[in-house]
Amino acid sequence: MSFPSLGLSPALLLGVNDKAYVKPTPIQLAAIPAALQGRDVLGSAQTGTGKTVAFALPLLQLLEVKPMIGVRRPRALVVVPTRELSTQVGEEIRSLGAHLSPALKVSIVFGGVSINPQLLRLRGGTDIVVATPGRLLDLVAHNALDLSFVEMLVLDEADRLLDLGFAEELARILALLPAARQNLFFSATFPPAVQTLAQQLLRDPLRVTVTPEPLSEPDIAQRAIAVDAPNRTQLLRHLIQQNHWSRVLVFVATSHGAEMIADKLRKARINAEPFHGQLSQGKRSQVLADFKASRVKVVIATDVAARGLDIALLPVVVNYDLPRSALDYTHRIGRTGRAGESGVAISFVSAESQAHFHLIEKRQRLNLPLEQIAGFEPTPTSSPVAAAGGGIKGKRPSKKDKLRAALSLRA
């Protein structure tokens, strides 16, 4: 099937043509006709399956066929978990709706920046709001947004919204919306909290599940390298220099770690920048722009960058610190091997993190040999010790385990 066969307006087909989208993806084929009929949609789809277009086109057509008379108030609301995703989604909606007449105003709002410019831009009203939860509620509190006219609600990456602790904010947002509305709900996974939210939110939804076909699986070579924790930065520097990597995205556990590693790489004359939630939005945007333009070779990021970023031709991802969950592992390595390109994903595994890595392997159905790099061989140890500072949920030592360990040290 083609986009014209989905019942889209001529103006939106021009927008699709501008984006060079030739053939609808499976989630677009299933979701767009149902959404155009006014049905709620429950979509299970990973990043890269085309879900933004799947909700953006019906959203735009809804507003096109029923134009607002009088004062502009938001009639479509898209709620996303991160600043970067809000910008990505908002720009996609603007591009697809570029040929609509009259033009629709798309407002992208997020926290981490001054609220005043956003208040000024909303003074003339808006048609579509793409927002992170906290800033959306701030703007409502400032009387800059009235959500009582919203006709379509999109929750994008619902599992991530709940993972980041937005459950209370989502409940407050839902209470501000009219009961009679259309809901489009997308989530990569459906843990119990997401299932409960879907049951509360949706009315007789069309359920769409997109499983990537084997031939379309990303071409990502996954590797695991055994290394002592204190030697990871030196190993990272060695791999970058030895392999002549043009760009590398490195994931770490903390903002402090990102700053520290970036500083050490810069001292070794490797152009590196940290990327984490404590940076200003202006700084984060600049780092991403420099990274995409290859002005920065290495970005050291916390999991704020694990979803919603589309960096073309990114060759390498490194898990300097292992993620806390197998799902986050998938999202991290999914930053490479996109759009038909190949990529490499490397995980550093120390004695302290070995048990956690085996759990990730089990849940991902992997069996990666632990490589050793000459000059960075790990110190022999009798058995892995428990990871400090967190580790695997449910795998922390009990009081009895700690007591046994203390007694063994005294023996």
Spell out the SS3 assignment of 118-141.
HHHHCCCCCCEEEECHHHHHHHHH
- Write down the pLDDT at residue 328: 83
Contact (Cβ atoms closer than 8 angstroms) between residue 222 and residue 56? no
The whole-angstrom separation of Cα 30 and Cα 41 is: 9
Low-confidence ranges of the chain (pLDDT < 50): 214-216, 384-394, 400, 407-411
Bridge partner residues of 381 (DSSP): none
User: 185-221, pLDDT tens digit by residue?
Assistant: 998 888 888 888 888 889 999 998 876 554 345 688 9
Which domains are delineated in the chain? 3-209 (3.40.50.300), 218-371 (3.40.50.300)
Contact (Cβ atoms closer than 8 angstroms) between residue 182 and residue 40? yes
The whole-angstrom separation of Cα 17 and Cα 227 is: 49
- Write down the pLDDT at residue 118: 95
- Write down the pLDDT at residue 396: 54
The whole-angstrom separation of Cα 315 and Cα 306 is: 15
- Write down the pLDDT at residue 391: 46
Amino acid at 197: L
What's the alpha-carbon Rg for the chain, to the nearest Å?
23
Where are the extended beta strands (E) located within 29-74?
Answer: 41-44
Return the structure tokens found at 365.
Answer: 């159905």
- Write down the pLDDT at residue 89: 94
- Helices and strands (DSSP H and E) totals, the chain: 15, 14
In b/e form, how buried is each residue of 113-146, taking b as 16+ CB within 10 angstroms?
Answer: beeeebbeebeeebbbbbbbbebbbbbbeeebbe
Return the structure tokens found at 38.
Answer: 């006014």
User: 88-98, pLDDT tens digit by residue?
Assistant: 899 999 999 99
- Write down the pLDDT at residue 339: 63
Instruction: Give, in order, the Cα–Cα distances in Å from 305 to each of 54, 284, 288, 290, 336.
Output: 23, 10, 10, 15, 13
- Write down the pLDDT at residue 389: 41
In b/e form, how buried is each residue of 224-254, taking b as 16+ CB within 10 angstroms?
Answer: bbbbbbebbbebbbbbbeeeeeebbbbbbbe
Contact (Cβ atoms closer than 8 angstroms) between residue 83 and residue 132? yes
